[in-house]
Amino acid sequence: MSASQTRGPLHSAPLTQEWWRTAVIYQIYPRSFASGNRDGIGDLPGITRRLPYLRDLGVDAVWISPFYPSPQADAGYDVADYLDVDPLFGSLTDADDLVTIAHGLGLRVFVDVVPNHTSDEHAWFQQALAAGPGSPERARYWFLDSDDGPPNNWPSEFGGSAWTQVPDGQWYLHMFDRKQPDLNWSNPEVRAMFLDVLRFWLDRGVDGFRVDVAQALVKAHGLPDFHGDLHAIFDGKVPAYTAPFYDQDGVHDIYRDWRQLLDSYPGDRAMVAEAWVNPLERLSRYVRPDEFHQAFNFAFLQTPWNATALRTNIVESLQTNDAVGAPATWVLSSHDVIRPASRFGYAYDHISPWLAAGEPAPDITTGTRRARAAAMLMLALPGSAYIYQGEELGLPEVIDLPADARQDPTFTSSGGEILGRDGCRVPLPWEREAPGYGFGASNTTWLPQPDTFADLAVDQQTGQSGSTLELYRALLTIRRARQLAAGDMDLLDLGVELIGLRITTTTTTGTTQVVVNLADNDWPIPAGMKVLIASHPGVTGSVPSDHAVWLDVS
């Protein structure tokens, strides 16, 4: 029944045991996690108050999306000052308190670094505008002359041209919103500035960084026109390096410098790349031993609910990461993509991370069932895994937000054709009966919460057998106890529509078998195998379609 392994397992346990190799890291999107006041926007004191919840969930670390001073044109990914906290979210003292309290609870903390672009309200950009063409201040960005429209045909990821003209006639590059001018990383001042940013936060005790659009910092020499299809790149169908603004080889030198800096600090600091590059071999270049520690496996996130496709992704991910000695880093959701409980509920493969206007409503029952099975797969796989806030509650994407409530710039810049990412950013429900479901001290929330959040609130799911929250808690407990992420792993041949893993660890007793059933019919659990946990408590003798089990086979 098993793929016989005369040459050793598909994946062998890592040789070293640094924490980040197997860590489960929880993404906090600050404006939507918890608020410590009445303004309806989440903040650092709100996060700190809820940290015990995360300790009890069983994660190892948190990554906090940007909380720096920002005009919030892209929800904080437009940074006006890398060395402070936006009053919207609190103060530097609040940040220090958060790190101290997290450490006291045994949680590590990553903060977000946004090095591709600043806000147009950053002092550097303001100085560049004032200094004028040809100045050293403009040389920190991409300011170009062009008499005949934009300097090249590059599209902004948020729609329209990637170039905006300033009153003196020059154009500046922005791969995202016009309020997010791209920095010129061939300028040594830019490199030096970011090393200072990293030092600032490392000195304050953070354990590492999530690095925004890590693949985009270096642009091809001469900024040549782009003749490809951006959407094919986003959907993983065309290698990212075919665009002159992604995955250029020069980016790696930047991260080698950063790695040296992190390594000069005590305490196993680490960094994870947000790099939407493909194929997986290109992604593995970011996690060579002298670069990043981890890189999000977005190809896994974008794999449809199809056993063959998932198995292929698992094999390729493990092989490409093993080749460079790095852990695979699994991810099912983030603040940028449709929530899994909805994504897996579409009648078609929803590999695009964004929702277009006019798409039908997904089947949430099916989506939730599959999302729970997918979590069981992800949390059993060797390596590290990320959980995006609310994923552990099984929150669906909120697709019916009113247009005037939507704040994601992709909505407006696409003329409403792309609904954007607000639907996965709706403030979390903590307590069913409290105003704003306990999000803050009032019933105000920066995006409206749907009625369906009531039953999904943390207090409704806590202690509730069969709830998604209790499923995640139990999975994290078993994952830790059986050291699943640090074991040898083989794929089992159980049939085309099933995914079977066998995980063996030398340090714990017992071999674990994981079965995810994507077939229409049940999969009978062989005699002698004990169910450790199932994606639904009712699963005992056989595993129904779209369900998963972890079995003790020792």
Q: Is 78 a catalytic residue?
A: no
d(CA 105, CA 100) in angstroms, rounded, equals 9
Smaller CB separation from ligand NOJ, 336 or 490: 336
Tokens 């049940």 belong to 522
Angle at 327 between CA 326 and CA 329, to 5 degrees: 125
Q: Which is nearer to ligand NOJ, 411 or 550 (CB)?
A: 411
| Angle between helical axes of 364-378 and 468-481 (0-180°, round to 10) | 10
Shortest approach of ligand NOJ to residue 75 CB, angstroms?
A: 7
Query: According to the binding rule CB under 6 A, does residue 212 interact with ligand NOJ?
Result: yes
Min CB(208)–ligand NOJ separation in Å: 17
Choose between 43 and 274: whose C-beta lies nearer to ligand NOJ.
Answer: 274
Residue 464 CB, nearest approach to ligand NOJ (Å): 32
| The only residue of 183, 213, 318, 551 in contact with ligand NOJ, by rule CB under 6 A | 213
* Residue 114 binds ligand NOJ (CB under 6 A): yes
β-strands 511-517, 143-144 pairing? unpaired
| Residue found by looking up tokens 């354990």 in the block | 207
Query: Taking the CA of residue 230 as centre, how many other CA atoms within 13 Å lie in the half-sphere pointing to its CB?
Result: 17
Q: Give the shortest CB-74-to-ligand NOJ separation in angstroms.
A: 5
What is the x/- site pattern for ligand NOJ, positions 151-180, by CB under 6 A?
Answer: -------------------------x----
- Give the count of residues interacting with ligand NOJ (CB under 6 A): 9
Tell me the C-alpha to C-alpha distance, in Å, between residue 323 and each of 80, 236, 309. 39, 21, 21
3-state per-residue secondary structure call for 32-73: HHCCCCCCCCCCHHHHHHHHHHHHHHCCCEEEECCCCCCCCC
CB closer to ligand NOJ, 193 vs 529: 193
Our CB check for ligand NOJ shows the closer of 94 and 274 to be 274
- Per CB under 6 A, 77 contacts ligand NOJ: yes
- Relative orientation angle of helices 251-263 and 188-203, to the nearest 10 degrees: 30
* Residue 233 CB, nearest approach to ligand NOJ (Å): 14
470 is catalytic: no
Residues 503 and 480: their CA atoms lie apart, in Å, by: 13
Q: State the catalytic residue, choosing from 43, 137, 207, 212.
A: 212
In the window 419-458, what residues touch ligand NOJ (CB under 6 A)? Answer: none
**Active-site residue (options: 43, 78, 182, 274):** 274
Strands in 401-552 per DSSP E: 488-492, 498-504, 511-517, 523-524, 530-534, 542-543, 547-552
210, 112 Cβ separation under 8 angstroms = yes
Residue with the closest Cβ to ligand NOJ?
Answer: 77
Using the minimum distance from each CB to ligand NOJ, give the nearer residue, 67 or 523.
67
Task: Compute the least distance from the CB of residue 239 to ligand NOJ, in Å.
Answer: 19
Residue 286 neighbours by CB distance under 10 Å: 26
Q: Which two tokens stand for residue 265?
A: 């600090």
The three-class DSSP label of residue 189 is helix
Q: Is the Cβ of residue 274 or residue 397 nearer to ligand NOJ in the bound state?
A: 274
Is 336 near ligand NOJ (CB under 6 A)? Answer: yes
Residue 400 CB coordination number (10 Å)? 10
| Six-digit token string for 79 | 């940074």
Residue 74 in the binding site for ligand NOJ (CB under 6 A): yes
- Which of the residues 133 through 152 are near ligand NOJ (CB under 6 A)? none
Spatial strand order of the sheet with 61-64 comes to 294-295, 270-273, 208-211, 108-113, 61-64, 24-28, 384-388, 329-331
Tell me the closest approach of the beta carbon of residue 444 to ligand NOJ, in angstroms: 23
Of the two residues 77 and 172, which places its CB atom closer to ligand NOJ in the complex? 77
The Cα 330–Cα 382 span in angstroms is 9
Query: What x/- string results for residues 239 through 278 when contact with ligand NOJ is judged by CB under 6 A?
Result: -----------------------------------x----
Measure the CA dihedral 319/474/344/493, to 10°.
Answer: 40
Q: Residue 80 CB, nearest distance to ligand NOJ (Å)? A: 14
Residue ranges that bind ligand NOJ, judged by CB under 6 A: 74, 77, 114, 176, 212-213, 274, 335-336
**Catalytic residue list:** 212, 274
